[in-house]
Structure 1
Amino acid sequence: YTDQWERWWKNPQQVELYNFMAKDNVPFHSVIFPCSLLGADDNYTLVNHLIATEYLNYEDGKFSKSRGVGVFGDMAKDTGIPADIWRFYLLYLRPEGQDSAFSWSDLMLKNNSELLNNLGNFINRAGMFVCKFFGGAVPPMVLTADDKRFLARVTLELHQYHQLLEKVRIRDALRCILSISRHGNQYMQVNEPWKRIKGDEKDRQRAGTVTGVAVNTASLLAVMLQPYMPSVSLAIQGQLCIPPGCFVLSHSFTCTLPPGHRVGTVSPLFQKLENDQIEALRKRFGGGQVSGGCGAPRGSSTLGTSWPLQLCFLLIQELTEEGAKQGNHVRQLKANKAEKAQVDVEVAKLLELKKQLALAEGKSPEVPVPKGKRKK
């Protein structure tokens, strides 16, 4: 990646190495590879923190490329769901302590409840109140005991966010962000600035304080969101006109948008996912039976549901690669004069792969009988 790689990979005194992987890779990266580096005796940097996740399953089963079950690669882009929504949901259910499962219904629920109604609602209201009630400028703030209690809750969540990220508990740290916006919505709901702005001078001042505190909380959330949802974070920074120098996360809640600071055009950050849309996606990525093939020949009794062209290509490509690998394995066994029973088992596996490939290509599933054998 860079000709300066030795600054990191041969610098154990100054570098802390974090490895991220699924649990099945732990033996190699915790034992085999570090032992290889030690054996090289060349001052290589060894892993300091090994962060392994459990498995992510799909709906009620498992992801499977060969059967077209699940969303892979650029297929996620083709759904029309923004990348940041995918990032949010996959990190929200990250299998940090036990296996977890991707669910289309849960994706819709988390988008509509946590992002749209909770996080997005709070940030949008905070910015809109500045524009609607105070001409786009952050109003003066006179903090009361209630405001200080709210800020204490936010600060507690911020401290916990830092601690969790230090421990690489990425999923749990994300929940701190959602808790802050939940506290923010409750804070605004209790103080009702949209009503107080219509009252006397004291009420209008109170509305200004609540709005100023809320929009500064939204500014804090923009920074906390950056590693999880970079595009959404950037959008909030643009809408609230947060100065680049203030776009840094500290360990305490500071006022980054002082009285008089002008915000920009505020607009909704998230869109609702509809049930019909989600059901269509669940059906689209639900896969099919391998025996049905991508286009089995007419008259075949094994015809299944027609597969999307992209899934067909993936299946054919995977079966072709597996068949070639198995063919080489069989030839190697024969060259080494392995026992006939072992060869027969591997040949049977090869014939089965050829059969599946033929079905996937829409050809007859019959595979030529090996030389020296006759059909009865």
Structure 2
Amino acid sequence: MLFVGDDWAEDHHDVEIQDESGRKLAVRRLPEGAAGIGRLHELIGEHLGEADDPGQVVVGIETDRGLWVQALAAAGYQVYGLNPKQVARFKERYVTSGAKSDAADAHALADMVRTERHQLRAMAGDSTQAGAIKVIARAHQTLIWERTRHLLRLRVALREFFPAALDAYTPLGLTGADTLELLIKAPDPVRAARLTGGQITAALKRARRHHAAAKAEQIKTALRMSHLTQPEALNAAYSATVQAIAAVLLTLNEQIGRLEAQVDTHFHQHPDVEIYLSQPGIGEVNGPRILAEFGDDPDRYASAKARKNYAGSSPVTRASGRSRIVLARYVRNDRLADALHSQALSALTGSSGARAYYDKQRTRGASHNSALRQLSNRLVGILHGCLKTATRYDEARAWPQHARAVEPLTA
């Protein structure tokens, strides 16, 4: 077998090739791109017999994505996308002075996959469909987070100089198309007070609001209420800020809508879509996110416990001597944890078994968040079983000891 350490940078890769005894066979700095990957294949070929399997080549690199990593996997090599924290701890056995070089890093990576690969996780063999869902679902979620950040900035600016706008527009939602249109048109108290009922009604109708005329009258009244004001120079600066943020929010709304359609298209093309959508609490938004973060490699999770550990829903036990404590797991995939929390919360109203399980934890004295985390942990196990057996969710089989006649809560 051959072991390759690949220390990557934006424009080059430092690589070292070792044999099974740890003997250094080759050290090179290769350029990024097709030329570099071609030269790496040549180097490996010089030390790998023609009849040998590419699977005998083990590569360690501190990333699990990108064109270079895809090329390594496509060649048939065993690729380990290593956590930088794990690599940093491993390198401490070589150097305690803090000295560092790219060649030394490549050497450490090659040594790590040669001696410790039984403790490491090889890069998941997810399908291209799952990869596409991951890219688009993450982009969609990121834009939603960006919208929330800009919304908070808008609220702060309005509270500082234009509180009447908060009174007038908050019932509609500050990210609504009509609210943003009116803020761009009249971003300060003076111009907002001059808005006519007809202008406000037209904006509400374009946003398809019900009872537009009545709501427009309420908005007009709120905008003309007396409030404290800022000096003229500050007023001008704040109004320009509000206009800019409102314009960004309009663009974000448009792009979020477009990405949402793409997420839906990719998600419904995946063969496991029906299994995911059959789960309680999983819908068209968090379903793609959960699939994206778990991936669809059937051999990635050896057991339900392994999937729960990756999800971060299972607890962590710390035992030393007579001390033993059980804590929530906070080192986890935050995107996946967020989606699973949403699933557990929604499952309370969609599954009598899930609700009974949650109530049981609460009766035992668990807090709301703790009970919800335990419910999420159970739901991950149920999802794992359904995916392994390629079966849809069944309430009676999922909760044989908890299912009972519980009326679903109303939203």
Using the size of structure 2 for normalisation, the TM-score is: 0.24
Q: Larger relative contact order (C-alpha < 8 A, sep ≥ 6)?
A: 1
Point out the structure with the larger strand share: 2
Using the size of structure 1 for normalisation, the TM-score is: 0.26
